[in-house]
Amino acid sequence: MLLTEIDHVAIAVNDLDAAVDFYNRAYGAEVAHREVVERDGVEEALLKVADSYIQLTSATNEDSPIAKFLERKGEGLHHVGYRVDDCAGALKAMVEAGATPIDKEPRPGSRGTTVAFVHPKGAFGTLIELVQE
Ligand code: CO
């Protein structure tokens, strides 16, 4: 088994501060990490749940994939991050199993991780991110 944990569940939101405030009032959740990832055009707030995260994600510019997602589908579940020990190896295994990579090879993600995205087509309709800490 290549997956070691659900790393995060990513939810696209229009207003990151409003979403963080809601999660705080509703669940008592605190922000463990907040980061602008300029190359992806996103700002993320990570709320820790046991050894996983809820990742609230908003767009930092109109061309961001998150901005396009919000325009097309509105707020909601955007992707699931699966934690792995070896991102390159897990990506290779997924491709060999018939999945379509978005990232041809692993690249830097937020909080110092190494990540690779895999297209929802060929992965049963869910955008998957492989996350190596
Ligand atoms: Co993610």
96 alpha carbon – ligand 1 mean position (Å): 22
Domain range for 78 = 3-132
114 alpha carbon – ligand 1 mean position (Å): 11
Tens digit of each residue's pLDDT (9 = 90 or more) over 22-80 = 999 999 999 999 999 988 899 999 999 999 999 999 999 999 999 999 999 999 999 99
Residue 79 contacts residue 129 (beta carbons within 8 Å): yes
The reported pLDDT for the residue numbered 122 is 85
- Domain of 10, CATH number, reads 3.10.180.10
Q: How many domains does the chain have?
A: 1
Report the Cα–Cα distance between both ends of the chain, in Å, rounded: 17
The reported pLDDT for the residue numbered 111 is 87
The reported pLDDT for the residue numbered 96 is 96
